[in-house]
Amino acid sequence: MPIATPEVYTEMLDRAKAGKFAYPAINVTSTQTLHAALRGFAEAESDGIVQISTGGAEFLGGQYSKDMVSGATALAEFAHVVAQKYPVNIALHTDHCPKDKLDGYVRPLIALSQERVARGENPLFQSHMWDGSAETLKHNLEIAEELLAQAAAAKIILEVEITPTGGEEDGVSHEINDELYTTVDDALRTAEALGLGEKGRYLLAASFGNVHGVYKPGNVVLRPELLKDLQEGVAAKYGRSAPFDFVFHGGSGSSREEIATALGNGVVKMNLDTDTQYAFTRPIADHMFRNYDGVLKVDGEVGSKKTYDPRSWGKLAETGMAERVTRACADLRSTGTKLK
């Protein structure tokens, strides 16, 4: 199937919310990790989301120029070609983008999609994220309102992060403290500024104790039941049941019980990066340790081309990451839910 059209992406999110499941959103940084994500979704018979962070886009742009826009555009164009060989629908998304990178990343990409839509084509990406969590909520929502209008004109969904997620993600860091919990007042101010769909559709990354990076269950106090309070608080004012489409950030290491509660309260997208990075790298490390005298020219020997050929360990890495993506689909209950 091709990359999801705006209409298909909308249907994907609607079905997830109604069915109380979520799509894994897998960060990719290469054609290899892209194929691993696509394969994992296909093997789970789940539609899904593939996303590129600012750091990932810079890496894709090459170390000579490190241009984020060309890096993200190139992989997105590649995805539009190869995704047709996988029997699932895939939405392309850009992950965390703080204020100082908007002009070098999200704004040019939205403009590119606006040009495509003006020619009668679909947007290059189906959604973009604005991470204003380091700004005041007032300033965050002012920028979000501007971006939402531009995104809607390009048939793109905007993701907004209104309060901090702990830990560090591509240079954006927040302490782990009591500020990691979105309040009902935060949610009401968001609805007032961005509307509830009439100004354009958006995904909401609310905070309920989430932390980016590596941690074990129990080391971070997650309160996914908080999402229900946000839904009900806004619903009481606007008379619309479960008004928000939530995103679960910092989900690595979360328990199945925490994930299930989040799904029941309106989470339709959950980001995975740390776990899939490890799943990709672990088989490579195993290969290198097992074949050290082949991948290295030890003591004047010639090594073994078969073991240092990138394809030999690249295939193992793809398989490892694909298996982790498939498991994520099971955890988020998206397995077998692909659109026909």
Active site residue ranges: 95
> From start to end of 107-222, where are the E strands?
127-131, 157-161, 167-169, 172-174, 202-205
- Can you spell out the DSSP letters for 1-49? -PBPPHHHHHHHHHHHHHHT--EEEEE--SHHHHHHHHHHHHHHT--EE
Q: What angle do CA 91, 93, 97 make, to 5 degrees?
A: 170
Helices and strands (H and E) in the chain: how many: 13, 10
In sequence order, the 6+-apart residues with CB closer than 8 A to the CB of 63 are none
Q: Which of 278, 312, 320, 317 is nearest to 295 (CA)?
A: 312
Half-sphere exposure of 78 (CA within 13 A, CB side): 17
Residue-wise over 214-244: b if at least 16 C-beta within 10 A, else e? Answer: ebeeeebebbbebbebbbebbbeeeeeebbb
CA 38, 159, 95, 269 dihedral sign is negative
Contact between 236 and 148 (Cβ < 8 Å): no
Residue-wise over 39-55: b if at least 16 C-beta within 10 A, else e? Answer: bbbbbbebbbbbbbbbb
Q: What are the tokens at 273?
A: 């990066």
Inter-CA distances, 124 with 36, 299, 310, Å: 21, 51, 30
**Residue 199, Cβ neighbours under 10 Å: how many?**
14
